[in-house]
Structure formats: C-alpha cells, structure tokens
Amino acid sequence: MPRPVAAGILTILGGMFILVGGLVFAFIGFLFSLFGLSGNIFLLGLLVGGLTVLMGVLMLAVPVGHLVWGALAIVFALVSIIVALGGFVVGLVLTLIGGAMAIAWRPPDRRVITVEARRMPPP
C-alpha cells in the first residue's frame, strides 16, 4: 500500500525539533518553579512535540487517514509556537510542510485492466 512517506518523515523531524523546544521550555519552567512560581504549564511543549511525532508515525502506519493526520500536524505546529518556542522555527516549518504534503497526498489510482477471452470451439 502506498504511503505519504515524505510527509511522515518531515512531520517526524519537525516533531523532534518541537520536542527539543519543549525540553527547553520545560527547563525554563523548572527554573521558575525553583523560585516558587507554578511551572506545570511548561510541560505542554513536551506533549505537543510527542503528539506531532505521533502524527508523523500515523501518516506512515495508517495512510488512509492522511487528511486527519495532516490537519492535526498543522494544528500542533501552530500550537508549538506558544508552548514549545515553535521548535526553534525549524520544527514549525518542517511540520507545516509535512502536514500540507499529507493533506495534498493522493493514493495512486488502481486501474485494473481486464481482458475478456473469447471462447473458441475446439478444432
């Protein structure tokens, strides 16, 4: 079965950058929590990065839902601007491109060519 491989790979790579941005954001939250401020909101970057990687894996594993996975990848990329520093912009761009490619991907047509044989009487 054909799959949107390029879209899945770009989304996974973008998700990895978003995960790294989420780790930086979580570290900043840890520093805030040392001074007595609430730091739980900073863990959302890790969640968004993990879900973005999951969308890329699902593009490769279940290509039938490519429209849903691509749309969710774009949403997570836009959310990553706020909660994960956009994956240092590289993750944002890679995930946006991967999501758009997943939405635009079409499975190849399965054209079946049939040939009807004519029956000839035996000689």
Q: Angle, to 10 degrees, between the axis of helix 44-61 and the axis of helix 5-34? A: 170
d(CA 92, CA 121): 69
Q: State how many domains the chain has.
A: 1
Residue 116 lies in a domain: no
* This prediction's pTM: 0.86
Residue 75 lies in a domain: yes
Closest CA to 101 of 3, 6, 34: 6
pLDDT of residue 75: 97
d(CA 81, CA 11): 15
- Tens of pLDDT, residue by residue over 55-110, are 999 999 999 999 999 999 999 999 999 999 899 999 999 999 999 999 999 988 87
pLDDT of residue 118: 67
Angle 26-92-72 from CA coordinates, rounded to 5°: 95
| Helix, coil or strand: residue 1 | coil
Residue 88 lies in a domain: yes
Q: Which domain holds residue 87?
A: 5-104
Residue 118 lies in a domain: no
